[in-house]
Each structure stands twice: as structure tokens, then as C-alpha cells.
Structure 1
Amino acid sequence: MNVATELPEIYDFLLKFILIGDSGVGKSCLMHHFLNDVFRDPSPHTIGVEFSSTLMRLPSSTPAATIAGSRIPNSKTLKVQLWDTAGQERFRSVTRNYYRGACGAVVVYDITSRASFNSLSSWLADARALASPDLAVVIVGNKLDQEEDRQVPYLEASRWAQEHDVLFMETSSLSGENVEQPFILLARSILLAIESGQLDPDKAGSGVSYGERALRRVSSWGSGLKSTHRGGKCC
């Protein structure tokens, strides 16, 4: 178990991610397991929007620094805001307001629900219309732990993602399988776009802004850092 300590932390970029998809597909459980390394039980439906944030440290594509003759791998620290939106239709007019300024979208469906997969086109169209013009998207097929009830084949979903020019993977927010990967994929994609010059944080509407020094609660995880700030529900 990781032990959190108070450390001064510099984050290089601030990113806004939205989690969208039909009600009941496991968006809140996916986010909760990613942030807390544990399944959320019980998991009530989100009312409106729920907010959290985390710090992620990822390798940079820029050259490593040399200090006292030793090469020090370069990395960037990203502060990622996570906006988990309600999937019920009656909240769509409210939750769409939170798409603005997002540079990344995690669009979730349930592999045991053909209907939730069929809704992906609508969710993706809304996100691309309202969020950053350079929006990065990952499609997530959740509930891998219910493989015996699968209604959406992996290859079909993978082809759909390729046709719509988005990333794709399957997860289980119950077992924790792959729960970190959608967020890491998005963050890496956006960081690469920044460092290659394809995405300019100074450009209005980019969905990315430069960071600043702040005191953060930081804990080591995997190859990077993650800290969590839980916000209350709104709307």
C-alpha cells in the first residue's frame, strides 16, 4: 500500500477530462477504482456531475537532462481534472455544459449491453461538438468481469473505434483490470500533442493550460505519481 506524504509539487499542465456514456455502464466505478484502487460499493447513480482531480507523472518525449555526468530521464507532471457526468437523458442539458474546455473524453459503454454500445455515436458527436476542437477520446468497454454475458464483441468495438479515429480498450471497474489505462492513454496522447506542437496550451479553447507550483498530497503509483482531490456533487 502506498503512503501519501505532503510534498511541494510542480505540475506542468492542467488537463480537463470528461467521463460520458449511458447510465449504469460504470463510469463512476471506473473513476473511483482508478483514483482509490478499490471498487466503489455501493455505487449510486450520479446526479448531475461529480468532480475529482489527480496528479499524473508521465515520461516526456523531450531529451533527458544530464546532471553530474548522469542522464536524468525527463518527465512531466499533469494535473488532471475528472468530470464524471450523469448518463440519464434528463440530465443531458445540464451535463453538456461541462463538456466545454475538455481536452480528453472517456466514453464508456457496457460490454453486456448492446444498447449502450449503440449510443456511442451520440455521445461522441456531442463531445466533439462541445469540447476542445483537439479533443482526444478513448472508448472504454466496461464490465470485463461479466464476459459470459457479453453482447458486444471486442473486434466489433475495436473496428468501430478505428473508424471513428479514437482510442479503445476494455476494462473491469469491479476487478480493477485496465482501470488506469484509459486515463494514461489520454494523458500520453495529449502530452505528445503538446510536445510535438500540435496542441498549444496558449490557444483559447485548447482544453489545456500551463500549471503552477502548489502544495499537493502526492503518492507514488506505477511509473508515476497520483494524488486525489475529491469534490462534492453539483447540480
Structure 2
Amino acid sequence: MADYVLKICLLGDGNVGKTSIVYRYIENRFSRDFKSTLGVNLLKKKVILTEGENAGKICSIQIWDLGGQNAYRKLRKLYLEGSQGALVVFDVTSQSSFDHLDDWIESLIEIRGDKVPMILIGNKIDLEANRVINEMQVQKYADKYNMPIKFTSAATGEKVETAFIELIQNIIETI
């Protein structure tokens, strides 16, 4: 039996790597052949915390991977209801995915309030040669919402697990 049952949402434009991040975390695998998420993809994982005062506690994590296409905008309220935290993902090689972050974050805040734990994820750092978003821009943006940042690569797995664990711990601190 789980000590905590948590609902986490992944937010961000289509093709930023949300589904790849989820599968890297859940199954430790990566595929370049994922299709765009239609609506929402729901996955679960059981996590045993290993650090801090909650070490040994079991968390049942429900991960809601929201489709990033505009067609699913009307469904956001339904998907975000009850979420306790979010990974807000952009692609470091896509200026437009970074420019659209406010829309995603404002949707979450409108539905869940401004105290919901969020982590800003700059994904695809393995594509450094194509990077268009620098760390100073990201830090300035994260400061606006007072949220931590993780730069990840779903392809290599870099910092994917640490992003989820940090978010889980942040959520538990607010419960």
C-alpha cells in the first residue's frame, strides 16, 4: 500500500519530448518513433523515496502526459484537475516551445493555484549544437515563477529521474 498517491502532469508544446521523458523515467527506454500524444497518456510508477525524512515511504505516481497540440487546449482543465505538481517542458532547440511556456503555466495556476509545485524542464540537451535557448534566459524565466530548473535529455536519460524525484519531494512537502 502506498503512503502517497500523487498526480503529476507534464505540460508543454507538442514535440518537446514529454512522452520520451515519461518513458525514460518509467521504463528507462528511449525511442525516436513516439507518435504525438492524442489527448492524454496516463502512466503509473511506484517509487520508494530514499532521502530525507520521507525515506522508505512508498509513492504511487500517476503521470499525466498531456498532448501539446492546440486542439487539446479545451481539455486542459479536465486533465489538470487534481494535479499536485507539474514538469513544464520545453525543447532547448525550439524558441517557440520556450515562448509558449506562459500559456501552459497560466493554465495550471488558473486551475490549481499558484502554490502547485512545478519544475521547468529544458529537454533535448543532447542536441547542444542546435540549442537556441541559453541558460541565462531560462534562469530569468524560472525566477519569474520561482521554480527550479532541470536540463534533461530523454535520449541519454540525463537528469530525468532527478527531475521526477525532486518534484515528488516538493509535492510531499506541500501536503
TM-score class, shorter:
over 0.9
Within the alignment, does 1:146 sit opposite 2:138 as a pair?
no
| Structure (1 or 2) with the greater helix fraction | 2
Alignment of 1:38-53 (within 5 A): 38-53=29-44
Structure 1 consecutive aligned stretches of length 4 or more whose deviation exceeds 3 Å: none
In the alignment, what sits opposite 2:98?
Answer: 117
Q: 1:17 to 1:132 in 2, by over 3 A?
A: farther
Q: Give the conservation status (yes or no) of the 8 Å contact 1:171–1:179.
A: yes
CA deviations 1:143-165 (Å, max 9, x no partner) are 00111111100121022112211
Q: Give the conservation status (yes or no) of the 8 Å contact 1:112–1:150.
A: yes
Counterpart CA distance in 1 for 2:4 and 2:11 is 23
Counterpart selection for 1:134 from 93, 115, 138: 115
Counterpart selection for 1:61 from 30, 49, 53: 53
Please state how far the C-alpha of 1:190 moved relative to its aligned partner.
Answer: 1.6
In the alignment, what sits opposite 1:33?
Answer: 24
Please state how far the C-alpha of 1:132 moved relative to its aligned partner.
Answer: 5.6
Counterpart selection for 1:79 from 46, 60, 67: 60
Please state how far the C-alpha of 1:17 moved relative to its aligned partner.
Answer: 0.4
Question: Which structure has more RCO (C-alpha within 8 Å, separation ≥ 6)?
Answer: 1
Counterpart CA distance in 1 for 2:132 and 2:48 is 36
Name the TM-score, length of structure 2 as normaliser.
Answer: 0.94
Counterpart CA distance in 1 for 2:171 and 2:34 is 30
Please state how far the C-alpha of 1:134 moved relative to its aligned partner.
Answer: 3.4
Q: Give the conservation status (yes or no) of the 8 Å contact 1:102–1:132.
A: no
Alignment of 1:68-217 (within 5 A): 74-131=55-112, 134-193=115-174, 199=175
Counterpart CA distance in 2 for 1:132 and 1:182 is 21
Larger of the two Rg values belongs to structure:
1
CA deviations 1:184-218 (Å, max 9, x no partner) are 1111112223xxxxx3xxxxxxxxxxxxxxxxxxx
Percent identity of paired positions between Structure 1 and Structure 2: 29
Give, as a single letter, the amino acid of the residue that structure 2 aligns with 1:19: L
| Structure (1 or 2) with the greater strand fraction | 1
Give, as a single letter, the amino acid of the residue that structure 2 aligns with 1:178: K
Please state how far the C-alpha of 1:167 moved relative to its aligned partner.
Answer: 1.6
Counterpart CA distance in 1 for 2:68 and 2:115 is 23
Structure 2: segments with no counterpart, 5+ residues: none
CA deviations 1:52-86 (Å, max 9, x no partner) are 01111113426xxxxxxxxxxx5211111000010
Please state how far the C-alpha of 1:92 moved relative to its aligned partner.
Answer: 1.0
Counterpart CA distance in 2 for 1:80 and 1:133 is 21
Name the TM-score, length of structure 1 as normaliser.
Answer: 0.71
Alignment of 1:219-234 (within 5 A): none
Q: Give the conservation status (yes or no) of the 8 Å contact 2:76–2:107.
A: no
Q: How many residues align?
A: 174
Residues 124-133 or 16-25, more deviating: 124-133
